[in-house]
Structure 1
Amino acid sequence: MTMDFGFSSDQETFRASVREFARSTLAPHDAEDDVNGAMRPEMPRQMANIGLTGLRIPDKYGGQGAGALEVGIAAEEVARADLNACYLIVNSTLVSEIMLGAADADQCRRWLPSIADGSTIPALVLTEPEHGSDAASLTVKAEPDAGGWRLTGEKTSITMGMYADVGVVLARTGNAGPSGVSAFIVDLDDGHITRSVFDDLGNRPIGRASIYFDGMPVPRDGLLGAEGSGFTSAMRGFDYSRAVMALACLGTAAAALDDAIGYARIRTAFGAPIGTNEGVAFPLVECATRLRAARLLCYEALWRKDQGMPHTVEANMVKWLAPKLAVEIVHQSLLTFGHTGYSSDNPQGRRLRDVIGLEIGDGTAQITKLVVARNLLGRAAAP
């Protein structure tokens, strides 16, 4: 048995191309996008031009048909330059993953090519004001209507909610519990919806929003899969998207740590570089060690996904670990800069505000630990 911790030559080439794209195209606008609190209109097409919005979409629908490892590589490298741009990768891969598992051929032909080419921004429309972590109890209704359904109720904390053209909407079509939840693919350019943006601490360009459905009509061919299968479809997508988001956090943390290490080499105090002081150097060593360990666990989860192996435990482990670790690393990196790190001219503060958001979004630490606990202990012996 062999154990290989490296990437293939094709994957390394891909990594280098994404890193250069992120450095040259995304990084110069990161600070401005944060101040403006808006996503630049050209960004989806720019990312689509190098295949980042169609990574998991098969080539017959205009995508790359890439593996989960490649998605992780892309998220990590993009996040080194701009964490918020990663949400375009995550949304497109998560929505396409759900569709490929539940949609029929006609639905795939209608929606996936435009997601792949960046002309359509997708969103997963799941969370509700009273039902975030307890998603199986959602109350937005899909009521039967002539020729289909009508959606009524409010969704909230929708990533890319202000920009999304299409959404996979989870709504109740049956009795209480997960078996009464169905998934619908809907055009969000409709007069029956109202959007309201959040004024957030971080992740300001991603347009996190509430969406209210006022009897929005959905045709019969908008149902994804069978009635009552929506919750299962969404949770299956989270099994690997959580590892992708973890790598995005670690990419941001790695960029922050690189800056701090570089500063510790050149900043002098008392006649020597500050890195010669154990109080500066050792915290950076600890950050580098923990970052490397978490990164390996992320890629193990994605490798297992590509091998068709169970990966729920690994993906949920890193979803609680990586955002927490990223916050700690960025914080320590900011402190390494001293008073200059506290200035808005330094990217550390912006990075810190952004990674904090992923301690909440896409599964809180409590929920992901619960998933792991039930796998380790069994449901009867777990919380």
Structure 2
Amino acid sequence: MHYAFDEDQDTYAHEVRKFAVKTLAPHYQSDDKAAEFRRQLALDMAAMGLTGLRIPEEYGGQEATAVIAGIAAEEVGREDFNAGYLIINTALISDIIVRNATDEQKAAWLPGIASGETIPCICITEPGHGTDAASLELKATPSADATGWTLHGEKTSITLGMASDRAVVLARTGGPGARGVSAFWVDLHHPSVSRSAFDDLGSRAIGRASLHFDGTPVSRADLIGEEGAGFVSVMQGFDYSRAIIGLLCIGAAQASLDEAIQWARDREAFGAPIGTFQGVSFPLAEAATYLKGARHVCFEALWRKDTDQEHSAEAAMAKFWAPKLAADVIHQCLLTIGHIGYSSEHKVGQRLRDVIGLEIGDGTAQVSKLVISRNLLGRKYAP
């Protein structure tokens, strides 16, 4: 068994960290205060190859492994958690397109994602359907000339919804259940699409939004894969992206832990560094231990993806454990740093607000545990 990155992976992690420190970190807090997504962020990340990680080289991407995408997410998460959403979205959506689209569609869609000119999002959640996504109601009505459909309905809680140019939209083209759902690549600048932003606790820079489709036209050229196969093709991608999410959260937690450790060295009380007191040092030791364990789970899921092995359970473990752990660790780091950490001038409070969002988004802990329990017990013996 080998528990270390190889030389190329180590070098890549180092380069991404340098980029994140220089280019991303200076905007982390100001973007949150502005509560607005900067288009330049996508271009900067594209120049570093971070928006084309899972895109084949022939379409302008890096054709990177899943492990490399995980490394990128963790390093970016250390410096600008919200910039990591671009890695999550572009990697997940690119993966869906690469697996299901035609060659003509790939050539038309993927280069813009890789270059940062097209910011994509994925539209699944609806006001009445979040976890039970197979019951979605947004309707794709066949057009009169049978050349396509029009979309009618609302999607909500859409990450990068205010900023995105295109979206993978799941819509009902057939009967009830998953087999009645198709996936479309939709132009969000069409006048029939309207958007409304959320005023969120954290991750304010990503522009979470509701999107309303009032007769939005889509053609057969916009259909991703086969009609009625959209739900399955899209959901398969989440097994991979959930481990990326875990590493993004771990990056933010590790940055906070590093700051708390330095604080425990520098701050003195009763004539000694506060790290000499067990009440301070032991929680930090526990945090380091748990983060190391969660990191291994995330990278095992990605390694399994790269080696074509089943990884649903490991991805689910990463998704429910890492965001919760990150919130717990960052909270403890804030307490360790004390009143300075409670100020909005310090990044630790913003990281805490931000990671909480991924305890909800892209699958709740309850759903992840359901996946794990079915893997452990077998479908017949599990909930």
Q: TM-score range by the shorter chain?
A: over 0.9
CA shift for structure 1 position 348: 1.0
Give the equivalent residue in structure 2 for 1:238: 238
Give the equivalent residue in structure 1 for 2:163: 163
CA shift for structure 1 position 118: 0.4
Give the equivalent residue in structure 2 for 1:136: 134
2:135 and 2:9 map into 1 onto residues whose CA distance is: 41
- The TM-score normalised by the length of structure 1 is 0.99
CA shift for structure 1 position 18: 0.4
Structure 2 SS opposite 1:66: coil
2:213 and 2:379 map into 1 onto residues whose CA distance is: 36
Give the equivalent residue in structure 1 for 2:196: 196
Say which is worse superposed, 238-247 or 141-150, in terms of deviation.
141-150
**Structure 2 residue aligned with 1:85, among 80, 83, 86?**
83
What is the total number of aligned residue pairs between the two structures?
Answer: 381
Written as runs of structure 1 = structure 2, the 5 A alignment for 1:169-208 is 169-208=169-208
1:232 and 1:110 map into 2 onto residues whose CA distance is: 23
Give the equivalent residue in structure 1 for 2:352: 352
Written as runs of structure 1 = structure 2, the 5 A alignment for 1:283-322 is 283-322=283-322
1:235 and 1:41 map into 2 onto residues whose CA distance is: 28
Written as runs of structure 1 = structure 2, the 5 A alignment for 1:1-383 is 3-145=1-143, 146=145, 147-383=147-383
Letter paired with 1:164: S
1:218 and 1:169 map into 2 onto residues whose CA distance is: 10
1:252 and 1:360 map into 2 onto residues whose CA distance is: 17
Letter paired with 2:150: R
- Consecutive unaligned residues of structure 1, counting only runs of 5 or more, are none
2:345 and 2:260 map into 1 onto residues whose CA distance is: 15
2:66 and 2:26 map into 1 onto residues whose CA distance is: 28
2:105 and 2:71 map into 1 onto residues whose CA distance is: 28
Letter paired with 1:21: F
Letter paired with 2:278: E
1:65 and 1:24 map into 2 onto residues whose CA distance is: 25
Structure 2 SS opposite 1:42: helix
Structure 2 SS opposite 1:92: helix
Show CA shifts across 1:260-305 (max 9, x none). Answer: 0000000000000000000000000000000000001100000010
CA shift for structure 1 position 41: 2.0
CA shift for structure 1 position 175: 0.8
Letter paired with 1:32: S
Structure 1 SS opposite 2:196: strand
Letter paired with 2:7: S
2:192 and 2:372 map into 1 onto residues whose CA distance is: 39
CA shift for structure 1 position 15: 0.5
1:178 and 1:167 map into 2 onto residues whose CA distance is: 19
2:164 and 2:212 map into 1 onto residues whose CA distance is: 14
Letter paired with 1:371: V
Letter paired with 1:202: G
2:313 and 2:102 map into 1 onto residues whose CA distance is: 29
Letter paired with 1:84: N
Show CA shifts across 1:179-206 (max 9, x none). Answer: 1110011111100011000000000000
1:260 and 1:17 map into 2 onto residues whose CA distance is: 24
Show CA shifts across 1:188-226 (max 9, x none). Answer: 110001100000000000010000000101011111111
1:334 and 1:255 map into 2 onto residues whose CA distance is: 12
RMSD: 0.6
Letter paired with 2:353: R
1:16 and 1:234 map into 2 onto residues whose CA distance is: 32
2:113 and 2:39 map into 1 onto residues whose CA distance is: 15
2:310 and 2:372 map into 1 onto residues whose CA distance is: 12
